[in-house]
């Protein structure tokens, strides 16, 4: 089974305490968590070890491998504490300067390709994620990847002199709620969702 080790860790935790830490809902019959990932609701069925989306407009759909990874890592690690409302680069998270490089670099190039010529399209793409607009760069938003993990996306458009630039910023507390590898996956899922929303 995928993520067997994570399921085993989750099994050892108190359900109600976990739900409080992760700012989600626990329902006892059958035992399950209901949690939001990128503005989509998911059910985490504890006894069957299944995670599926519960969008009202379609049949339940099994969560993808990386979606499952993010949700399980978050449920296990999340802390009952609010965001700092201070955004930092991934490299400025504890140990981030060692992790977010090379293969683990954040996918800013995909954002530059998708939104660099028309930064305002970021607002259109982010509507379904309940994103909040900001005034940084040429276009910027805040969206919640998971209930305690907001992300900030900033786009600077290209012109005759400079190419497009993009930043993916994390709340300063993000590293207390998930390990760095899972945060990297969350950022990739957010970028993929935003780019796909343009299509």
Instruction: State the burial class of residue 136 (Cβ atoms within 10 Å of its Cβ: 0-12, 13-18, 19+).
Output: middle
pLDDT at 1: 56
Domains, in order of start, for the chain: 4-77 (no CATH), 87-197 (3.30.310)
pLDDT tens track for 5-56: 999 999 999 999 999 999 999 999 999 999 999 999 999 999 999 999 987 6
Backbone angles phi, psi at 11, to 5 degrees: -60, -30
**pTM of the predicted protein model:** 0.94
3-state secondary structure of 127: helix
- Rounded distance between C-alpha atoms, residue 157 and residue 67, angstroms: 30
Convert the pLDDT of each residue in 100-156 to its tens digit: 999 999 999 999 999 999 999 999 999 999 999 998 999 999 999 999 999 999 999
Residue 172, SS3 per DSSP: coil
Within 8 A by CB and 6+ apart from 79, the residues are 21, 148, 173, 176, 177
């Amino acid at each position: 089974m995928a993520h067997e080790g994570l399921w085993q860790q989750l099994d050892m935790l108190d359900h109600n305490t976990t739900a409080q830490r992760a700012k989600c809902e626990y329902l006892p019959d059958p035992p399950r968590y209901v949690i939001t990932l990128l503005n989509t609701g998911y059910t985490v069925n504890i006894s069957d070890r299944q995670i599926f989306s519960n969008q009202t407009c379609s049949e339940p759909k099994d969560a993808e491998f990386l979606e499952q990874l993010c949700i399980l890592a978050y449920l296990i690690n999340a802390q009952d504490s609010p965001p700092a409302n201070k955004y930092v680069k991934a490299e400025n998270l504890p140990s981030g300067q060692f992790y977010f490089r090379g293969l683990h670099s954040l996918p800013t190039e995909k954002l530059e390709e998708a939104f660099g010529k028309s930064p305002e399209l970021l607002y259109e793409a982010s509507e379904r994620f309940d994103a909040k607009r900001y005034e940084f760069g040429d276009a910027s938003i805040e969206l919640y990847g998971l209930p305690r993990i907001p992300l900030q996306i900033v786009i600077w458009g290209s012109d005759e002199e400079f190419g497009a630039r993009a930043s993916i910023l994390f709340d300063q507390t993000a590293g207390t709620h998930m390990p760095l590898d899972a945060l990297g996956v969350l950022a990739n899922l957010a970028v993929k969702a935003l780019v796909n929303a343009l299509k």
